[in-house]
Structure 1
């Protein structure tokens, strides 16, 4: 199969840079349903623009390209060992070409090994009786992977009470899974649900559901009714895009079931962000050439047009008032104290990236640059070097901030940081530090890696490359970086408010629906 490696490379590039048609249509529908003038409507508009930018530049939609997972079905007699070798070579080349971020981290040493290492990428083979090869690929980032959840029934669920070993207990688990994700999984998202199996096969079944088309119909009547129930009622929780509050919290729900042991009853939920990157190809078993694409390409479905149509949305009961404020770094405490939740902030000047490794390091060490009045951006960018050896930003959306909660308040106090940018919000310890020391949390739009990459005009330096490119501290000259204040220095948190309101709505779904 002389063309197999090239076909896999093309599959990786298409999956990373171009959302398929069914996903685009789901985002379009969300835009049309959301009230205009809201934070969620603004986020959906940014998402639509980012999708178009990624397609046009053939660059990653989101900087977190996840753990590449291949599902392969092939005829008897095809050399699976040779196929795996070619897949690893294609993944390595795609990483060198900045179509994938370096994501394979040694769990013991922390060394980033690109995208190839023990257990990575994931490659699953299955034989079938057809004479061609089918390869499906999903790129599911760490932020939404962390919002996966597995329930063992019976269970007591917050807001919903007892979930038994029956269809109504399954319903409660799925609704709770959507609630617990809030905005940390780059919602509005998609979920795959696996009922039964053991702990490992249950999660595998859940992830396989994400390979189904968004608009397909479940052949099982009970599961189809459950999918329809979840889609209707999850979007009544008011979580909204990015957890900003709104009418659309879920874009798709697919459910599958498998047999289980008498002693075990697992409900496994695999959460995927709006940047639902999955694609597949059929290949000629003799040559390895692509014969067809499994999901209709999004090329030709202009997200620019969708933005124009969807940005108007429907008139809400009340337009969300917001101010637009321009800030240049370094930022003073007085400027920060004037900001409040809901303000749109546009930042110019130097921004520093910092993720888990940097925050842990700074707890016990000095910083090589002055962070007084600075902005820290929770982001692990995709970077590349040009012919002259200069670095450039290829993709740079925000990462989930809650992982730095154990450190963030202390880092703000120690270094005088005035703004933290990320996604999904942070906890009470950080909120208290924002209030005491005069800082704010700014929520950027998760997954919008191209939208934000355009704001970084120059890489002025980098520290801690030993942490790996995503975890290094990049110093970026910035113009026009826009984000929303969701936690201010007055003790207010939009994330806490939305979580409280959505819990009240979740409680209303406590009574049995399936009897």
Structure 2
């Protein structure tokens, strides 16, 4: 999403063309994943361009400068956004058209997100408007500074209250439990029709990928936004992933039944060996009877990597997990059919997958969302690629990994860490109401 504030006379079409050229170039260089598909046939455009991609928002101002802001928001957190129409019944209680009702809607959206939106989350909220303008205005709140507060005293008080209460729900980072569930809550309001009262909630992941710049009309930089002085004048060293040996379980593929059965929820593992990426298209393909015998008794990774081919060799630039719950309709059957020993992803999975893990000797390993470049360090080489007809992110990449860190959140004994957190946070949410 590009947000522009421009003075009168600026050629908006030219700016859109420049942005599209930049998106195309950034995708070609591997800075952006190929993440735009046709909504009917599912074909990936390969350059992140197409109808509605990217999204542009325009506002004319009396300022002489051009303000440009960019939010890079993935599907995992976008899927956790929500909209409510009041009055309503939430968690078994009637919620009315007032700020008390708005409070319940926001907390409910945060509770429902759990770790699936790559939490801790950053929350934008719009009160009022219609369905379309409410969602757009909620997302626009994510452009605000993290440490600001609403100029409206009542909304500022509600923002502070949400921060206090959400961070006592014990959801925590990635849904592992803890006291840091959201990093900010920004609320604003629009006028509405008397017959409608919408509360729109935009959920942003902890990585909070956004940038902004102020340009003069000649295109020179006046000011960079959302960054500390000199932040990008040197390259940060990526962290060392080495963990103390006493604190981790080391695993190497092929995984045995004994390897899996000894694991329990909460175990931190470092995985060496072969993993196969597989996202939505692959799971649907396998569920419908497609063949992929190479994954039998192996490890499947819910991941759409960014991969470049250089001098005839593949290089992985980013390899973070995608939200696993989308594969819940398919995963249990695939575990059983192929005898999978481990599924890697983020956000946790549901009861069907939990049961399949118990019955078939499989575990769910939770990787850390938002750390795609760090996980790319774990990839030693690309061994093969299959099902390329689905597009690069949806293809099956056979990766050799080393020291790949993850946490067991579903074990083979019927335990589900994130379900336990969900149940506990539901009790805390109910008590807060």
Partner of 1:358: 282
Q: Does 1:509 align with 2:402?
A: no
Q: Does 1:90 align with 2:90?
A: no
- Of 102, 114, 117, which residue of structure 2 is paired with 1:170? 102
What is the CA–CA distance in structure 2 between the aligned matches of 1:366 and 1:144, rounded to whole Å?
29
Partner of 1:481: 404
Q: TM-score, normalised by structure 2?
A: 0.95
Deviations 1:50-100, CA, capped at 9 Å, x for gaps: xxxxxxxxxxxxxxxxxxx01101111111111111111111111111111
What is the CA–CA distance in structure 2 between the aligned matches of 1:398 and 1:212, rounded to whole Å?
27
Contact 1:345 1:482 in 2 (8 A): yes
- Of 109, 129, 152, which residue of structure 2 is paired with 1:220? 152
What is the CA–CA distance in structure 1 between the aligned matches of 2:231 and 2:55, rounded to whole Å?
31
Residue aligned with 2:432, SS: coil
What is the CA–CA distance in structure 1 between the aligned matches of 2:189 and 2:368, rounded to whole Å?
34
Partner of 1:99: 31
Partner of 1:337: 261
Contact 2:293 2:338 in 1 (8 A): no
Partner of 2:53: 120
C-alpha deviation, 1:299, in angstroms: 5.3
Partner of 1:179: 111
Partner of 1:297: 228
C-alpha deviation, 1:371, in angstroms: 2.1
Unaligned runs of 5+ in 1: 1-68, 309-321, 511-515
Partner of 2:205: 273
Residue aligned with 1:226, SS: helix
Partner of 1:195: 127
Partner of 1:234: 166
C-alpha deviation, 1:155, in angstroms: 0.8
Contact 1:333 1:373 in 2 (8 A): no
Partner of 2:358: 435
Q: CA RMSD in A?
A: 1.8
C-alpha deviation, 1:366, in angstroms: 4.6
Contact 1:150 1:267 in 2 (8 A): yes
Is 125-134 or 347-356 further displaced after alignment?
A: 125-134
Contact 1:323 1:342 in 2 (8 A): no
- Of 405, 420, 444, which residue of structure 1 is paired with 2:328? 405
Q: TM-score, normalised by structure 1?
A: 0.80
What is the CA–CA distance in structure 2 between the aligned matches of 1:183 and 1:351, rounded to whole Å?
23
Q: Does 1:138 align with 2:71?
A: yes
What is the CA–CA distance in structure 2 between the aligned matches of 1:228 and 1:352, rounded to whole Å?
44
Contact 2:125 2:201 in 1 (8 A): yes
What is the CA–CA distance in structure 2 between the aligned matches of 1:291 and 1:173, rounded to whole Å?
40
Residue aligned with 1:475, SS: strand
Residue aligned with 2:10, SS: coil
Residue aligned with 1:210, SS: helix
What is the CA–CA distance in structure 1 between the aligned matches of 2:430 and 2:5, rounded to whole Å?
43
Partner of 1:25: none
How many residues matched?
425
Residue aligned with 2:397, SS: strand
Contact 1:239 1:502 in 2 (8 A): yes
The higher-RCO structure (CA 8 Å, 6+ apart) is 1
What is the CA–CA distance in structure 2 between the aligned matches of 1:389 and 1:202, rounded to whole Å?
48
Q: How does 1:45-64 map to 2 (within 5 A)?
A: none
Residue aligned with 1:236, SS: coil
What is the CA–CA distance in structure 2 between the aligned matches of 1:366 and 1:72, rounded to whole Å?
45
C-alpha deviation, 1:343, in angstroms: 0.9
Unaligned runs of 5+ in 2: 241-245
What is the CA–CA distance in structure 1 between the aligned matches of 2:174 and 2:229, rounded to whole Å?
23
Contact 1:330 1:372 in 2 (8 A): no
C-alpha deviation, 1:126, in angstroms: 1.4
Residue aligned with 1:476, SS: strand
C-alpha deviation, 1:490, in angstroms: 0.5
What is the CA–CA distance in structure 2 between the aligned matches of 1:479 and 1:369, rounded to whole Å?
23
Residue aligned with 1:479, SS: strand
C-alpha deviation, 1:182, in angstroms: 0.1
C-alpha deviation, 1:390, in angstroms: 1.0
Contact 2:125 2:199 in 1 (8 A): yes
Residue aligned with 1:508, SS: helix
What is the CA–CA distance in structure 1 between the aligned matches of 2:293 and 2:401, rounded to whole Å?
17
